[in-house]
Amino acid sequence: MAEVVYRPLETELLRTARALGCAVLDGGGMAAFQAVDAFRLFTGREPDGARMLADLAELAGAVTAPK
């Protein structure tokens, strides 16, 4: 189960799916890695994807790990 929502990262759909035993992914990874690719294209520099993902999770107010 995946839901491409950036905020909130933890949605009712994901909570319910997780409670039912489904493996879930939030939209944070997609948002961060779209930003990684855009940064690379616009600047020609290699961004720190892990840091961008961590910053997004902090800004979104929820750090969630895929299960």
- pLDDT the model gives residue 67: 44
Q: Where are the domains of the chain?
A: 12-60
- What's the CA gap between 35 and 64, in Å, rounded? 19
Count of residues making up the chain: 67
Greater model confidence, 7 or 12: 12
CA atoms within 13 A on the CB side of 1: 16
Which are the contacts of 53, defined by CB distance < 8 A and separation ≥ 6?
28, 29, 32, 33
pTM (predicted TM-score): 0.64
